[in-house]
Structure 1
């Protein structure tokens, strides 16, 4: 059994569309978390170099004309580039695991990616969002069957999904059956007005909380507030300004029984939230409900996929 440790979620914005300065800010936050005693820190979805909020405001032609599309591609993360080495080096210097959300540039494609570096700077997990949302597909490509890993780490088994992937029961189940102890539910921000038809922060927090109880695991839910100056730079009409508002930070950490473990920060405030993670509590929760074991009905329904995601075999004689 792994020992208890302190984990941290980020409620802070990157330096928007500036990869180098955002990496520097990430390094500062990583150091701050480690100095507070944290052994794991989770960043929001697409923290590097920020979420492309213009896709919610106008068509892609408008974004192209304003230069947003080209700049976003230029500032996306190259996983062969120096930024990866910089973050991994910071993780190693401070002895902390780092789960980063980034826009990944691979050839002529962009992906919504999550990457885990351990306390020695080694990559333990790297995945791409399987199905970006309809508006996100204007910018990002889809991941594949290999993008549902759960990694063995010195702290326990760690997995991750991004944003609306948490509304997909089969994607969640694929990780549940791999016995996560710690799950990163990465969200970008919640700055869109209700008229945008985007779900509310309360709904997304409920989804993260439900994930904790279904998976019998701790859930880290990082979330980045949108700075007012960034919102202003993206909105060239009053209608857009009414739709995209500053704030939207709602980070939280949930226990395996679904209890929130942190006092929330105000939606416009930046900071780090901490909670004690006890792997034994997750193991105890799994004694009562375990989708990878005694609570499974693989003889009735089961997930078909790569061998690493397969459920326990059906009982002898079952269909």
Structure 2
């Protein structure tokens, strides 16, 4: 349907496949373990049949796809974003650099090679998830690559709704908006929501747990490089698709005022050092190297 409506890029939220693991925030580790095996089994592997189906959907519909997923690699999981172009090729496969707080009990880390922006037919596209957008150095690394379209993938923004303001839509959509203004780019910020079925599965009628995980939290937004919103809101407790037309020509107006890594940078005062080398837990040295 999205392709039939003229979409060139379709973006999904953080770990949309197989869904965000809200259980890691909601109870003791022993209680959480009932969900661990199922979540691991339903996470996706690179090069799998499931990836091939996503690639085919892109080819068949002539669309680009940014999918947030729980990526399974060996015995570990990673919060990942895969970007497919319209031919079905994965042009960007990256992992969240540092999962925050209890996410570190479920996921491994990415590295500097994941701070990349790729050239596509629709523009230069970059990807980040959730509170990576509160890491100013990571953001700056992306701005410096002349990013034009940024996919900011978020989970549901309803967890601990009445207990932790920083986890709510005001702060996190604010981060997406600020990213658009700072980076002078368009930001597509897809967000998941908690359904009644998910709440029932995790809370099993426990009212205290339901208070921690209320239904809703879908606060998807699309921002222009001036911070303006470009799409009509969908109610936070309803699933739907948001559309926006973008004009990359508008980026020039924004950067004329403040190009953060160009004419508005203060190179003699502050600079950013990036290690883009892919990191591995195992490094093999041949005999000749000593």
The answer, yes or no, to whether TM exceeds 0.5 is yes
Matched with 1:90 is 57
Q: Out of 228, 247, 253, which is 1:278 matched to?
A: 247
Cα distance in 1 between the residues matched to 2:118 and 2:207 = 46
Cα distance in 2 between the residues matched to 1:282 and 1:274 = 19
Q: Out of 146, 149, 173, which is 1:205 matched to?
A: 173
Q: Tell me the CA shift for residue 241 of structure 1.
A: 1.3
Cα separation, partners in 2 of 1:164 and 1:140, compared to 1, 3 Å: same
Cα separation, partners in 2 of 1:115 and 1:176, compared to 1, 3 Å: same
Relative contact order, higher structure (CA 8 A, sep 6+): 1
Q: Out of 118, 123, 129, which is 1:151 matched to?
A: 118
Matched with 1:136 is 103
Unpaired runs of 5+ residues, structure 2, are: 278-290
Say yes or no: does 1:40 pair with 2:9: yes
Give yes or no for contact 2:18–2:70 (8 Å, CA) kept in 1: yes
> After the TM superposition, which residues 90-239 of structure 1 pair with which residues of structure 2 at under 5 Å, given as runs?
90-192=57-159, 193-196=161-164, 198-236=166-204, 237-239=206-208
Q: Tell me the CA shift for residue 197 of structure 1.
A: 5.5
> After the TM superposition, which residues 278-297 of structure 1 pair with which residues of structure 2 at under 5 Å, given as runs?
278-297=247-266
Cα distance in 1 between the residues matched to 2:166 and 2:276 = 35
Larger displacement relative to structure 2 (220-229 or 287-296) = 287-296
Cα distance in 1 between the residues matched to 2:75 and 2:156 = 27
Q: Tell me the CA shift for residue 277 of structure 1.
A: 1.0
Give yes or no for contact 1:99–1:114 (8 Å, CA) kept in 2: yes
Give yes or no for contact 2:40–2:77 (8 Å, CA) kept in 1: yes
The C-alpha deviation readout for 1:253-281, integer Å capped at 9, x for no partner, is 00000001111111111111111111111
TM-score, length basis structure 2: 0.92
Aligned residues: 275
TM-score, length basis structure 1: 0.84
CA RMSD of aligned residues (A): 1.3
Matched with 2:225 is 256
Cα distance in 1 between the residues matched to 2:265 and 2:91 = 28
Give yes or no for contact 1:60–1:138 (8 Å, CA) kept in 2: no
The C-alpha deviation readout for 1:159-211, integer Å capped at 9, x for no partner, is 01100000110111110111100001110111222224542211111110000
Moved over 4 A (4+): none
